[in-house]
Each structure stands twice: as structure tokens, then as C-alpha cells.
Amino acid sequence: MGEKIIYSLKEYEEEYPVLLDSYFLEYKEIEEIDFINSEIENYDICLQILNLPIEQVFNRWFRIEIGANLKVFSISEKTFNIIFEDENEKYYYKIYSDFEKLPGETEKKVKQSRISFAKILNFLDQRKLLLETKSKSETPRHEHIFCNNGFELFEDILSEYVKPIGKKGRLSDIHYYYWKMYEDDFIHQRPERFKTWFLETYEKEDLGKIKTLKEVENLDRNIHYQTALDWFKQQHR
């Protein structure tokens, strides 16, 4: 959003690439979805302000100030807190100033802006959904090793149930989960091919000779695998 609040969906769509480029210049190592989340937060604040009682918040005879006598201006404490929460006040004063410059009745401008901000938020939500869907579809599936969405299950197990690198038992954990996933048709390659893939994919980590399932199976691993499997099935019902 920057220093400028845009009050029209059409103008916002036209300005979107410029706003995004400016954000990239200001903040390094961020993605478009970070910009969208920031814009959603900002426009949501503006919409909250516009949804406050017009006759109180945008009365031409005064401007709410910190320390104002709320009783004199008939301002509720809830309204006051929304305006002055965190950095909300800068948006309030910017909207107030913009409305003073625009021709027409304040009530009409507020109502029109409410509709426009809701449309802008919808545009941002749709853009965010598109990016998330695209990102999900681009996630590597490694189908030369896995089948039946097995890589998703393996990633979950690796992050949730396998011990960290360097910890005793990590390799045995992976050996165990390899065999369970092989048995359940989530992995379709034999140990040597799986080991080579793992070495190339995960920071050159060598799994060594993969032990038999009987050597690495225990109660905790059985419980963890079943828990991961139950979660996975819920995701793919």
C-alpha cells in the first residue's frame, strides 16, 4: 500500500505490478505472497475503519485525536481503540485527508470505498489462492521413486518423526520408514535406487547399508508411522 491508498479496484489492478515491484525493491528475499499478505492486512484495517459509524469518525467538524474527550464527541471506546490500535491511526488520517480532497458527500464516499475495498480484498484473496495452488502443483513429486503421493507422506515423516541429522537412530528411522512405505506401495524402488536418490536430494546424506525391517522395527516407530499414515489419508479423502 505504501503512502497511497487506492479506492478503485480497476485502478488497483492496473497499479498492482508497480506496487509489487516497489515492494521487491524495498524488501529483499521476499515473494509475491508476502506482498499480498501485507496488502490484505492493510486493506482489512482500512475497511475496519470505514465500517465505523460515519457520523462519528468522519464528522467534518473534528478529527479524533489521542486524548480526545470521547463523551464530548460521542465516540465509543471500541471505535477509539480500533482507530488507534498499533499503526491503524495512520490509515485513519490518510483516509480522512483523502476524503477532504475528494468532491461529494462524505457518507457517499465512505459507502463507495467500503465496496471498493471489499473488491480489492477479494482480488488479493484470489491472487493468493492462485499462487498457493501453483506452488502446490510445482512441488516435486519424485515419481521415479514414489507412487500414490508417497513423497508427500515421506516429507511429513522426515520432518515430524525422523531424528535430526547427526542424532543416533536417524538412519535406522529412515530405513524403517523406507520399508514400511515400500510395503504399502508408496515407494516402488529397491534400496539401492532409493539410497542414491536420497543422497542426491538431501544434502549428500549417505544412508549406508539399509537394514532389514526386522532389524529396525520397534513400537515407537510403528505408532509414528500409523499416525503419519492416518494424517495422510485424511488429506486425500
Residues 6+ apart with CB under 8 A from 106: 54, 58, 60, 99
Domain that holds residue 172: 150-235
Length of the chain: 237
Residue 50 lies in a domain: yes
Residue 4 lies in a domain: no
pLDDT band at 44 (very low <50, low <70, confident <90, very high): very high
R_g (Cα) of the chain, nearest Å = 28
Residue 180 lies in a domain: yes
Residue 141 lies in a domain: no
Do 112 and 163 fall into the same domain? no
Of 148 and 71, the one with more pLDDT? 148
Q: Are 24 and 65 spatial neighbours (Cβ–Cβ below 8 Å)?
A: no
Q: Average pLDDT for residues 110-118, to the nearest whole number?
A: 93
Do 25 and 132 fall into the same domain? yes
Tell me the average pLDDT of the chain.
Answer: 86
Q: What is the pLDDT of residue 100?
A: 80
Of 118 and 27, the one with more pLDDT? 118
Element (H, E) at 226: helix 219-235
Q: What is the pLDDT of residue 81?
A: 78
Residue 3 lies in a domain: no
Do 115 and 37 fall into the same domain? yes
Residue 32 lies in a domain: yes
Do 166 and 218 fall into the same domain? yes
Q: How would you class 158 by CB atoms within 10 Å of its CB: exposed for 0-12, middle for 13-18, buried for 19 or more?
A: middle
- Per the structure, the count of domains in the chain is 2
Answer yes or no: is pLDDT of 88 > 90: no
Q: What is the pLDDT of residue 133?
A: 78
Do 131 and 27 fall into the same domain? yes
Q: Average pLDDT for residues 7-22, to the nearest whole number?
A: 93
pLDDT digits (tens, 9 = 90+) for 160-217: 999 999 899 999 999 999 999 999 999 999 999 999 999 999 888 899 999 999 999 9
Among the candidates 78, 106, 136, a domain finishes at 136
Q: What is the pLDDT of residue 104?
A: 72
Q: Average pLDDT for residues 103-132, to the nearest whole number?
A: 89
* SS3 assignment, position 187: strand
Q: What is the pLDDT of residue 31?
A: 84
Least confident of 19-23, 71-75, 127-131, 209-213: 71-75
Q: What is the pLDDT of residue 147?
A: 92
Do 131 and 154 fall into the same domain? no
pTM of the model: 0.55
Do 175 and 116 fall into the same domain? no
Extract long-range pairs of 110-114: CB within 8 Å, 24+ residues apart: 110/50, 110/54, 110/58, 112/7, 113/7, 113/50, 114/47, 114/50, 114/51
pLDDT digits (tens, 9 = 90+) for 138-166: 666 898 999 999 999 999 999 999 999 98
pLDDT band at 135 (very low <50, low <70, confident <90, very high): low
Do 54 and 166 fall into the same domain? no
CA 171 to chain centre: 33
Answer yes or no: is pLDDT of 69 > 60: no
Q: Average pLDDT for residues 11-29, to the nearest whole number?
A: 88
pLDDT band at 55 (very low <50, low <70, confident <90, very high): confident
Among the candidates 84, 101, 136, a domain finishes at 136
Of 2 and 23, the one with more pLDDT? 23
Do 154 and 104 fall into the same domain? no
Residue 222 lies in a domain: yes
Do 91 and 188 fall into the same domain? no
Do 27 and 125 fall into the same domain? yes
Do 163 and 115 fall into the same domain? no
Q: Say which amino acid occupies 89.
A: E
